[in-house]
């Protein structure tokens, strides 16, 4: 990591603060998210109401940039296939 890259940006600090705002005692991990993200994505495509499990997917996606990146790519595929 280069020295000039080390200072945290306002976006990164806001990212920490947002992350803390979303933190709950029981959360999905990436594996649990992957198990359910396909039903979440299909539900999103048709604006289906969010159930308890799906809400946990949504919360994990808000916290995890990696799973969010994969979810957005999945939506791209689903939308292309409509």
Partner 1 sequence: MTQNEINWPAALRAPDSGEQAAAVKALRELLQHGLRIALHGRGDVSEAHLEDFAQESLLRVLDRLDQFQGRSKFTTWAQAIALNVAFTELRRKRWQDVSLDALMADGERMTEPAMLADDVLGAEEDRTRLVATLRHAIENDLTPKQRAAILGELREMPFDQIVELLGTSRSAGYKMLHDARRALKQRLQEAGITGADIQNAFNL
Residues near partner 1 (CB under 8 A) are 1, 6-10, 12-23, 25, 27, 29-31, 34-39, 41-42, 64-66, 69-70, 73-74, 76-78, 80
Q: How far is the CB of 72 from partner 1 (least distance, A)?
A: 9
Q: What is the per-residue DSSP string for the chain?
A: --GGG-SPPHHHHHHHHHHHHH--SS---HHHHHHHHHHHHHHHHTTPPP-HHHHHHHHHHHH-HHHHHHHHHHHHHHHHT-
Closer to partner 1 by Cβ: residue 50 or 78: 78
Closer to partner 1 by Cβ: residue 17 or 55: 17
Q: How far is the CB of 70 from partner 1 (least distance, A)?
A: 5
């Amino acid at each position: 990591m280069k020295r000039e890259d080390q200072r945290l940006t306002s976006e990164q600090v806001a990212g920490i603060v947002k992350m803390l705002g979303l933190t709950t005692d029981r959360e999905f991990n990436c594996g649990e998210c992957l198990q359910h993200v396909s039903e979440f994505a299909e539900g999103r495509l048709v604006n289906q109401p969010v159930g308890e499990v799906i809400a946990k997917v949504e919360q994990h996606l808000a916290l995890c940039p990696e799973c969010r990146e994969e979810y957005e790519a999945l939506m791209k595929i689903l939308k292309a296939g409509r």
